[in-house]
Amino acid sequence: MAGQYFRLLDDIHIPGRWELSEPVDQQGQALGTWLFRRGEPVMVEGRIRIPLYSPGKALDFSLAGTSIPVVHARVAAVFAELASGDVQLIPVEVEGQSEPYFLLNITRVVKCIDDEASDEVRYVTPEHGLPDQLGEYRSVIGMRIDPSKVGDAQVFRTWGWVAMVVSEAIKVALEELGATGPKFKEVTGPSTISAEERARDRKSRELLETAATAREAAWRTLGTLDEEVFMPIAMSDSWPGHRQLWRVIRREAGRTLLVTHGLSDPFIESLEPSVGFGLELALEVDASVKDISKGWPLLLLNRVADEVAEHEKVREGVKAGLFSMEVSGKGLPRSLVTEDGRVAVLLGVESRTLPRHFSTPYGEVKLVTVKALLPSELEYLLEHGAEGQAELARRFAENGEEHLSRLRRKPVA
């Protein structure tokens, strides 16, 4: 009799938890997640390091990057005992940890997804321009597997779709151990949602996917969209689609453009086509920022986006034209921080290299630039008000920097 199987997930809702970046070698070069998603043993010379994406509570199980499991030695022992033929345990050094950790490379792949029992499956077609993935899954929602096809595997990756599945024996062993971090979702048996819920979920996904696809097409006209940058999706009720997303665009002259990627999502509660708040934010710096997660540009843009998402008056001001605001300067470069511990930005400065709007199937979206101001420029704004905003924008255009945010520059006021 076939047993029960469970999808192995990283519990992202643990308060104060850490987040791990992608593995790097001894020289600090990223190893590439694809190495550990093929379901094959890998050979890596030297010690592997796992940098922290975000410090916090250490967990026994978590994902490095988006899909590579990293486990404490006591969790590794469970897999070594119950699934030795399905995994490769590679010692790693986790930043800030003296305890032993291992990269859990799952070396078994099983073709067992039950297309009919799953809520929804989509396949890669020739139109997607991915010949190496033709016929594989483009998305699998509400995944169910056929346990009769699993054989003796205790842990495996599903063929054609990046998912990790464990047996009930593994699940029970980890629960009895009290391991922190893993989350289990049953993938055997009938679907647990009603036909009405399935239809609502499908419509929601279609709305969000259409909006995201249109935005990405717009981002690609501005430079090279960096597909390798890892930034976890954060859930937020204040964003229209209840998800905080970001994109990184590599531009000419080594510049890096960061954009919000969700303020123009349709409002998920209404399930109707819309452009959400009708805007997205863009912050460009004159450097090729390699570690986006630890850089000040994303931190600043995140704080500005929070203000825009949470306050209607701010959004109204931003849509009307030039708009200035202050946010917390904690963790931001000293050259930007005022004596009061704040950082000022000027939103809506026109650019010669960025469009003011872009089109989506649901309507026009305004692209709002975010310009980091120096403390003396903030003082000028406070003294001159709206006229000061216009004058600063004029001076920025005059010196050729417009919307560009730089730390080392002479103030224009």
pLDDT tens-digit series, residues 153-164 = 999 999 988 899
For 66-83, the pLDDT digits (tens) are 789 999 999 999 999 999
Judge contact between 361 and 290, C-beta under 8 A.
no
Instruction: Provide the pLDDT for residue 129.
Output: 65
Instruction: Provide the pLDDT for residue 230.
Output: 59
Q: What is the pTM of this model?
A: 0.67
The strand ranges marked E within 232-374 are 234-235, 243-244, 246-250, 256-260, 279-285, 323-328, 342-347, 357-360, 363-372
Cα-based distances in Å from 368 to 152, 248, 273, 324, 351: 55, 16, 22, 12, 10
Highest-pLDDT range among 47-56, 97-106, 280-289? 97-106
Q: How many CB atoms within 10 Å of residue 361?
A: 11
The strand ranges marked E within 37-159 are 48-50, 52-54, 61-64, 68-72, 87-94, 101-106, 109-110, 120-123, 137-141, 155-158
The C-alpha atoms of residue 35 and residue 31 are separated, in whole angstroms, by 7
Judge contact between 88 and 101, C-beta under 8 A.
no
Cα-based distances in Å from 407 to 286, 288, 352: 9, 14, 21
Instruction: Provide the pLDDT for residue 233.
Output: 67
- Token pair of 103 as six digits: 């990269």
Report residue 127's pLDDT band, with 50, 70 and 90 as the boundaries.
low
Residue 364 has pLDDT above 60, yes or no: yes
Residue 293 has pLDDT above 80, yes or no: no
Q: What is the dihedral of CA 172, 174, 179, 184, to 10 degrees?
A: -70
Long-range contacts formed by 174-180: CB under 8 A, 24+ apart = 174/61, 174/75, 174/78, 177/60, 177/74, 177/75, 177/78, 179/60, 179/61, 179/72, 179/74, 179/75, 179/78, 180/14, 180/57, 180/59, 180/60, 180/61
Instruction: Provide the pLDDT for residue 348.
Output: 97
The C-alpha atoms of residue 270 and residue 80 are separated, in whole angstroms, by 48
- Token pair of 32 as six digits: 């590439």
Mean pLDDT of the chain: 91
Range of lowest pLDDT (19-23, 103-107, 306-310, 353-357): 19-23
For 315-325, the pLDDT digits (tens) are 999 999 999 99
Question: 């026109």: which residue's tokens?
Answer: 350
Q: Which residue has the higher pLDDT, 195 or 49?
A: 49
Question: What type of residue sits at position 147?
Answer: P
Helix%, strand%, coil% for the chain, nearest 5: 30, 30, 45
For 200-255, the pLDDT digits (tens) are 888 998 899 899 999 999 999 999 998 777 566 677 889 999 999 999 999 988 89
What's the average model confidence in pLDDT over 325-339?
A: 95
Report residue 141's pLDDT band, with 50, 70 and 90 as the boundaries.
confident
For 249-265, the pLDDT digits (tens) are 999 888 999 999 999 99
Report residue 134's pLDDT band, with 50, 70 and 90 as the boundaries.
confident
- Token pair of 161 as six digits: 């779709």
Q: Is 42 helix (H, G, I), strand (E, B) or coil?
A: coil
- Token pair of 410 as six digits: 């002479």
Range of lowest pLDDT (10-19, 172-181, 291-300, 341-350): 291-300
Judge contact between 263 and 279, C-beta under 8 A.
yes
Report residue 1's pLDDT band, with 50, 70 and 90 as the boundaries.
very low
